[in-house]
Structure 1
Amino acid sequence: MPANKVKVITVFNFPYGFNDLVSLDLNSSKFEKIVIDLSRMDFIYPSSVIVLAAYTISMATKDITVEVYYPRPNEVKEYLVEIGFRQFCMNNLDTNFNISNYNSTNSLIPIVRLEKERLHEYIQFIKKEINNYSTGKDLSAIEICISEIINNIYDHSNGRAFCFAQYYKKKSEFVFSAYDFGIGIINQVKNFLKDPTPKEPIEYLKWAMTLGNTSHSTQHNAGKGLDNIVSQLNSNNSELTIYANNTRYTSKENTHKFSNNPINHFEGTLIEIKISIDNLPNLELEHIEFDF
């Protein structure tokens, strides 16, 4: 293959390390092969996994050969093999496919491509899995947040939504990321409001974060989804980050910050929560079952 038909893109930790990948115009790309170089990545988070999967699948569906390159065996390669990353990407080109045989001892919830009709089943699966790590903790905040995130994703998704989660045992931290490869919250709100004088992108995200505001909501959240997530996380000093088009929102320890997205030309919306299991309240005694 001629060298001018091959593009090498170096990717490292999200968000800053994804600029070159996200900035690539796949619709007008003349490259026949794109090599994603992970040589600078020494650790991979759920947000990196789902964005990498979404773009790998998107490139492959445009008849671009994709090679994920590792200079040598390392923990990132072993991790991606363990979670079935290659299998997931290769089988999602023409139809939705999710990993069913999943034997990872590290990951809590496998990478999935959401199907709205299986939303209830997916949430029940999540609830079952996170109970393995409950250790007497009340996990209702996790259940509520994931449910709200998934419903919010479907409000703005065009059918290409990805989810992945990880439980870090040493830190007792649960991280859940969901990525909507659709038009994103900013464009969705902008199209809904139809302002004669367009606002700054951050103002549209603030509008979406305001209780009661919704551009297209299911009966499940009716405009309360994002606000509900913030309320749940603030109650136990956990963290929420939203990347929406060219804006970013972070909420941690009751501190809220709107800023520009450090990734240029970011498509869609990525929502990530980080919850310290140790900060969750204990289950009340009547909710704990004994088998003796």
Structure 2
Amino acid sequence: MKSYKINVPANQEMDDWFEFINESLKHNSEVNNLIVDFNYVNFLHTDDFVVLACLIESFYIKGANVSFIGGTSKFNNHLNNFKFKRYWEDGFNRENFTISLNRTTLCLWKLNRDMMYGYSMFAKKYFNDTFMSNKDLLPLSSNLYEVFNNIFDHSNSEISGYVITQYFPKINKLSFSVCDFGIGISKSINNYRIKNNQKERRFQGSFKIH
């Protein structure tokens, strides 16, 4: 039985996350037990969560058991509120809506073709009903659905992908992030960074509500 520990970066530096994902993916076919160490992590943004979920999924679908250690008490409370640590337990349906105990965060969701329209419409209704009544959130549902379609039609990813949507009351911003490990992603990112001398960017959408 082989165990492997991934050390989640405690910052939002894109280069650190890029190296973290690249290094971790080298080991996802030879591990029986995956240990996710949050170290001193106090906060992760929506894009970090979906990238991490895809990484964990890449180990899980190849037979690894998943466990979690570390993280500050505040951060672990956030994880517990939207049940992040339960997603890779036996019998947990990651392709269903798992309602968060934190009203500002819509569930982390593993993309499923049959439910992608339902999720995009549910996200619109959820945030209209909670924080943004009488606001036009049709662009949110439209963008989500378009991104989901692109993933299923073009990514050729063994992981369908993950999405999470969160509202940030202090800055009045609604943010969603979607990630998949589609074919050619790593090569494309490397070529882009070399050509433009820029850092990796994951797909994220934000809506400032006025």
| TM-score range normalised by the length of the shorter chain | 0.7 to 0.9
Who is 1:38 aligned against?
38
Q: CA 1:247/1:115 → structure 2, altered by over 3 Å: closer, same or farther? A: farther
Q: 1:165-190 CA deviation, whole Å, 9 max, x = no partner?
A: 11001110111011122215687xxx
Which residue pairs with 1:67 in the alignment? 67
SS in 2 for 1:182: coil
Which of 199, 205, 208 is 1:273 aligned to? 205
Structure-2 residue corresponding to 1:53: 53
Task: Tell me how far apart the structure 1 counterparts of residues 5 and 77 of structure 2 sit (CA, whole Å).
Answer: 22
Distance 1:28 1:186, change over 3 A: closer
Report how far residue 138 of structure 1 moved. Answer: 2.7
Q: Distance in 2 between matches of 1:177 and 1:51?
A: 9
Please report how far the alpha carbon of residue 92 of structure 1 lies from its aligned counterpart in structure 2 after TM superposition.
Answer: 7.5
**TM-score, normalised via structure 2 length:** 0.78
Name 1:83's counterpart in structure 2.
Answer: 82
The Cα shift of 1:141 comes to 2.7
Aligned to 1:177: 177
Show structure 1 runs of 5+ residues with no match. Answer: 188-200, 202-244, 250-257, 264-268, 279-292
Is 143-152 or 80-89 further displaced after alignment? 143-152
Distance 2:76 2:37 in 1: 12
Greater alpha carbon shift after TM alignment, 164-173 vs 144-153: 144-153
Q: Which residue of 2 aligns with 1:128?
A: 125
Please say if residues 11 and 40 of structure 1, whose CA atoms lie closer than 8 Å, have aligned partners that are also in contact.
no
The alignment-based identity, stated in percent, is: 24
SS, match of residue 90 in structure 1: coil
- What's the TM-score, normalizing by structure 1? 0.59
How many angstroms apart in 2 are the aligned matches of 1:6 and 1:261?
Answer: 34
Could you tell me which amino acid in structure 2 is paired with residue 46 of structure 1? T
**Residue equivalent to 2:111:** 114
Q: What is the root-mean-square deviation in Å for CA atoms of aligned residues?
A: 3.1
Distance 1:119 1:64, change over 3 A: closer
CA distance in 2, matches of 1:119, 1:67: 28
* Aligned-residue offset at 1:9: 2.7
Show the counterpart of 2:141. Answer: 143
Contact conserved, 2:54 with 2:162, CA < 8 A, in 1?
yes
- Code of the residue aligned with 1:277 in structure 2: it is I
Contact kept in structure 2, 1:91 and 1:97, CA below 8 Å: no
When residues 98 and 64 of structure 1 are mapped into structure 2, their CA distance, relative to the original with a 3 A threshold, is same
